[in-house]
Amino acid sequence: KLILIGPPGSGKGTQARLLSKKLKIPHISTGDILREVVKNKTQLGQEAQAYMEKGELVPDNVIIEIIKERVSRPDCEKGYIFDGFPRTLTQAQMLDKIFKEKNKELDLVIQFKISDESLTKRLSGRLICSKCGADYNLYFKPPRVGDICDRCGGKLLPRQDDKKNVVINRLKVFKNQTKPLVNYYQKQAKIKDIDADKKSENLNQELLQLIDAEVNPNGLPEKQSFPAESAEE
Ligand code: AP5
C-alpha cells in the first residue's frame, strides 16, 4: 500500500502507471476518477467540476466515499498505489481508520521533490488525447505529428486545469493543504523522498529500488520479475 505525494506535475501519475504494471497492483488516482465522473456529467461530476476548474480540492466527504468504494474491490486485496490521495489531514486520518478497520497497514509514502522550473514545463507542455487519454508533453514526450495522437489519431488537448492561473492556485493549495501531510507521515516514520527531477525511466528504476528496500518483500512480486522494458508506456 503505497502513497505518492508531490506537487501537481511532479510525475506521480506517470510513475504510478508504470509501477502498477510492474508491481501488478492497481493505480488509484482520485484525479482520474473525478475526471471520469465529470465526463459522465453525473450530479457528483458537476459538483466536482466546479472545484477542479478553479484548482480547489473537492470536499473530503466526497473523496472518502470514492476511496472506500474503490479499496473494497477485489483487485485491491494485494495492495494499491494512491496517486493524489490523501491530500488533506482529514483524508489521511480517514485512511488510517480504513486501514485499522481492515487490519491492514500503510507500507510507504514517497514524496516527489522537483524544481519549480521543471514543474512549469511539465504542466504547460502537457497534452492529453481527447479520445484514448494518452499523455504527451511538448517538451519531454512530443507527439510525432502536430496535435494528433500517435496511438489512435485523436486530437490532443491541454488539460483544463493546466491553465496558468489555475496552476498557480493548484500549487498554492498543495503547499497549504497537502504539504503538511509530509510531517504527518514523518511522525509515522513512513515517508521517503525521491528526486523526481529526472528522466521517467531513471526515476522509475529508483522508485522500484526504494520500494524493494523499504517494503516487506512478501507483499510484492520477486525482485527479479521486474521486466527490464523501457519506462515509456
Ligand atoms: P490530479 O489529477 O491528482 O492532479 P495533480 O495532483 O495536480 O497532478 P497532475 O496530474 O497534474 O500531475 P502528476 O504529478 O500526476 O504528473 P504527471 O505524471 O501527470 O488532481 C486534479 C484535481 O482533482 C485537483 O486539483 C482537485 O481539484 C481534484 N482532486 C484530486 N484528488 C483529490 C483529493 N484527494 N482531494 C480533493 N480533490 C482532489 O505528469 C505531468 C506532465 O509531465 C505530463 O505531461 C508528463 O508526460 C510529464 N512528465 C511526467 N514525468 C516526467 C519526467 N520524469 N520527465 C519529463 N516529463 C515528465
**pLDDT on residue 225:** 45
**pLDDT on residue 230:** 45
Contact by Cβ (8 Å): 68, 40: no
**pLDDT on residue 83:** 98
Q: Which residues of 154-181 are buried (b: 16+ CB within 10 A; e: fewer)?
A: bebeebebbeeebbeebbebbeebbeeb
Residue found under cell 510484492: 220
- Reported as a single tens digit per residue, the pLDDT across 78-112 is 999 999 999 999 999 999 999 999 999 999 999 99
Angle at 229 (CA atoms; ends 224, 233), nearest 5 degrees? 130
Q: Identify the burial level of 40 via C-beta atoms within 10 angstroms of its C-beta, where 0-12 means exposed, 13-18 middle and 19 or more buried.
A: exposed
Residue type, 130: S
Residue type, 118: S
In Å, what is the CA distance from 29 to each residue of 17, 43, 92, 121, 217?
A: 10, 20, 15, 22, 24
**pLDDT on residue 13:** 96
Q: Round to whole Å and give the CA distance between 16 and 11.
A: 8
SS (H, E, C) 57-81: CCCHHHHHHHHHHHHCCHHHCCCCE
Range with the poorest average pLDDT among 93-97, 121-125, 161-165, 223-227: 223-227
What is the residue-averaged pLDDT of the chain? 92
Residue 128: strand pairing partners: 135, 157
pTM of the model: 0.93
**pLDDT on residue 229:** 46
CA nearest ligand 1 atom 5, residue: 8
Residues 6+ away with beta carbon under 8 Å from 22: 204, 208, 221, 226, 227
CA nearest ligand 1 atom 29, residue: 31
The residue whose CB lies within 8 Å of the most ligand 1 atoms, and thus the one to mutate among 139, 140, 198, is 140
**Catalytic residue check, 170:** yes
Q: Identify the burial level of 86 via C-beta atoms within 10 angstroms of its C-beta, where 0-12 means exposed, 13-18 middle and 19 or more buried.
A: buried
- Reported as a single tens digit per residue, the pLDDT across 27-54 is 999 999 999 999 999 989 999 999 999 9
**pLDDT on residue 124:** 94
Q: Given the CA of residue 17, which atom of ligand 1 is nearest to it?
A: 18
Catalytic residue, from 17, 22, 87, 122: name it.
87
> Given a cut of 80, is residue 216 above it in pLDDT?
no
Residue found under cell 528522466: 199
- Reported as a single tens digit per residue, the pLDDT across 160-205 is 999 999 999 999 999 999 999 999 999 999 999 999 999 999 999 9
Range with the poorest average pLDDT among 28-37, 63-72, 97-106, 222-231: 222-231
Say which DSSP state 145 is in.
B
Q: How many CB atoms lie within 10 A of CB 211?
A: 21
**pLDDT on residue 217:** 59
